[in-house]
Amino acid sequence: MKPAGVVRKVDQLGRIVLPKSLRKRYQMNEGDPVEILVQGDHIILERYRPKCVFCGSMDGVTEYKDRYICASCLSEMTQLPRHA
């Protein structure tokens, strides 16, 4: 991890403005979900990428009924035997 060369103050509501240059560089647009991660004394921001509810994969994930499932798990599910 290296400093981005930016110091910002937290406002009354706990908000911090991310500099436009960083938003552009990391392709963060208005309304994009951002995940907050913590590691020791560090707070890390990451563009949110949905994970499969079954295996945790982030590849080929699609949304179904407010949950996310990857193509691999979806394929496995469609091959499950059906019970009457």
At closest approach, how far in Å is the CB of 68 from Zn ion?
9
3-class secondary-structure state, position 38? strand
Helix, strand, coil abundance in the chain, percent, nearest 5 = 15, 25, 60
Q: Which residue number, 23 or 51, has a Cβ lying nearer to Zn ion?
A: 51
Cα-based torsion angle of the residue sequence 68, 71, 75, 77 in order, rounded to the nearest 10 degrees: -10
At closest approach, how far in Å is the CB of 78 from Zn ion?
13
Instruction: Map the footprint of Zn ion across residues 48-77, applying CB under 5 A.
Output: 52, 54-55, 57, 70, 73
Sites of contact with Zn ion (CB under 5 A): 52, 54-55, 57, 70, 73
